[in-house]
DNA sequence: GCTTGACTTCGAGTGCGCTCGAACTGGAAC
DNA sequence: GTTCCAGTTCGAGCGCACTCGAAGTCAAGC
């Protein structure tokens, strides 16, 4: 599929897709006879995984590192697993943090509600 | 307390504290005779609340809006509550998203573990 | 009374992750 | 066969949230 079709599927722009390739997050994508990118389903799967990593706050730098490891094949499985485990821990910590902050938010909402009722 | 003491307490830099003031996230802080900022406990409380909002991903733009409302007193309580409720919903959505992404992470970790064992 | 060091303001610089404009190319539709 | 459109590369620009350098001021300690 074309760059714009792939962009549509993964929810990124064509700009971003080309930039990801340039940044080494994606292997050079196959081209047709006219030099236009042709994305395979595997390319899209990979991009979807990358969007998950980005969404969880993984820096592009780390995603590049992960992409490099993936390119090197099975011998980097352990390292890739370690990278994901470390990231999982960060995501868990982030969720805890958000849940803590949620308490403050709820407390404030409650207080504002009470103050509003007192003003009547 | 001084700007560096306040920075220490809220976990921001002195640069950021001055910048927050300049950006209107904080009311102009009291000054001593030499023109140096003197932070009160209430100033610090306010800053701590701001850090919670930032940490949950609220843009500085929205924090400024909130600060403006707070400055206007009780008549903006309803609007402030609405702002917090909307933000709470975003935080809840973000947590759900992270939990979804966590599943992918765990799935990958599991797969890598299995592949590693198969290679032995 | 001089040094030190934490403060002041101002504007410029940084890092991240895109986002875009310009100039060009090549296949498809009429 | 010309128009059109989606693609190409390249480098520049942007928005956000800080972060810092420079030049100056002032109170406190020796």
As a whole number, the mean pLDDT across chain A is 97
Q: Which two tokens stand for residue A22?
A: 């340039």
Cβ contacts of residue A13 below 8 Å, gap of 6+? A7
Asked if the C-beta of A118 comes within 8 angstroms of chain B's C-beta atoms, the answer is no
The predicted-structure confidence for B24-44, as pLDDT tens digits, reads as follows 999 999 999 999 999 999 999
pLDDT for residue A80: 97
pLDDT surpasses 90 at A5: yes
Distance A29 CA to D24 C1' (A): 57
Measured in angstroms, the CA of B5 and the nearest CA of chain A are apart by 24
Asked if the C-beta of A79 comes within 8 angstroms of chain B's C-beta atoms, the answer is no
pLDDT surpasses 90 at A120: no
Q: How far is the C-alpha of B54 from the C-alpha of A62, rounded, in Å?
A: 23
pLDDT for residue B120: 79
Q: Which residue of A has its CA nearest to B93?
A: A98
The predicted-structure confidence for A21-43, as pLDDT tens digits, reads as follows 999 999 999 999 999 999 999 99
Neighbours of A67 (CB within 10 A): 18
The Cα angle at residue A65 between residues B59 and A11, in degrees rounded to 5: 50
Q: How far is the C-alpha of A81 from the C-alpha of B69, rounded, in Å?
A: 47
Token pair 């995603």: residue: A63
Measured in angstroms, the CA of B96 and the nearest CA of chain A are apart by 9
Cβ contacts of residue A41 below 8 Å, gap of 6+? none
Secondary structure class of A69 (helix, strand, coil) = helix
The predicted-structure confidence for B52-111, as pLDDT tens digits, reads as follows 999 999 999 999 999 999 999 999 999 999 999 999 999 999 999 999 999 999 999 999
Alpha helix stretches (DSSP H) within chain B = 3-10, 14-22, 41-55, 60-71, 77-119
pLDDT for residue A42: 98
Alpha helix stretches (DSSP H) within chain A = 3-10, 14-22, 41-55, 60-71, 77-119
Q: Which two tokens stand for residue A81?
A: 């697993």
The closest of B55, B52, B50, B51 to B65, measured between CA atoms, is B50
Asked if the C-beta of A110 comes within 8 angstroms of chain B's C-beta atoms, the answer is no
**Percentage of chain B surpassing pLDDT 70?**
100
The closest of A55, A8, A25 to B94, measured between CA atoms, is A55
The predicted-structure confidence for A48-60, as pLDDT tens digits, reads as follows 999 999 999 999 9
């Amino acid at each position: 599929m074309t760059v714009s079709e792939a962009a549509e599927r993964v929810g990124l722009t064509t700009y971003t897709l080309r930039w990801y390739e340039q940044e080494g997050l994606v292997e050079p994508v196959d081209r047709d006879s006219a030099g236009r990118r042709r994305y395979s389903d595997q390319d899209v799967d990979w991009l979807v995984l990358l969007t998950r990593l980005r969404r969880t706050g993984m820096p592009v730098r780390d995603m590049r590192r992960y992409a490099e490891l993936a390119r090197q094949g099975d011998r980097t499985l352990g390292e890739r697993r370690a990278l994901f485990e470390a990231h999982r821990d960060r995501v868990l910590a982030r969720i805890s943090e958000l849940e803590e902050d949620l308490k403050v938010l709820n407390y404030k909402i409650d207080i504002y509600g009470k103050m509003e009722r007192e003003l009547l």
